[in-house]
Amino acid sequence: MTEPCQVDFYLLSTPGLDARHMACRLALMSWERGHRTTVVTDTDAAAGKIDALMWESPRDRFLPHELADPDGTGCAPVVITPIDRLNDESPATSDVVINLCSQPIPRPAQFARLLEIVPQEKEAREACRDKFRYYRSQGISPATHEINK
């Protein structure tokens, strides 16, 4: 039997903390630990913005990343893709997913870890509460972590 997906919600509790910067930080940590990571966004435009940010953040470091191919895959250790390109038919090519979407990742059990970032904005927090409930309905017990800096 395979291990269930570990889902972690990172609550950004300090004003000024940004979900995209946190995603860069988490992607760097994941890469440094030898994981293949997919960052999932709502749209192509949002994927482009996180791609541009990863060229600048973290400062004085290089995070090997790329935008996904049209089939939702890529060769770099960190791949950025809109959610509509997650391929339901193929097996997961990443073991860690960082979800920047307002909706949950379908079929979370295909990944070892799923990281959700909870911004301070009320609407985004409500969407995260819905995602939390969805993952619980999938038999997963998400963990929460408060991020202060």
Q: pLDDT value at position 16?
A: 83
Q: pLDDT value at position 1?
A: 39
Number of domains in the chain: 1
Please report whether residue 111 resides in a domain: yes
Please report whether residue 127 resides in a domain: yes
Spans in the chain with pLDDT lower than 50: 1
Please report whether residue 126 resides in a domain: yes
The size of the chain, in residues, is 149
**Domain limits for position 13:** 6-147
**pTM of the predicted model, to two decimals?**
0.92
Q: pLDDT value at position 100?
A: 97
Contact 142, 135 (CB under 8 A): yes
In the 3-class helix/strand/coil scheme, how is 97-121 assigned residue by residue?
EEECCCCCCCCHHHCCEEEEEECCC
Kindly report the CATH number assigned to the domain that includes residue 117.
Answer: 3.40.50.10110
Please report whether residue 1 resides in a domain: no
Q: pLDDT value at position 3?
A: 63
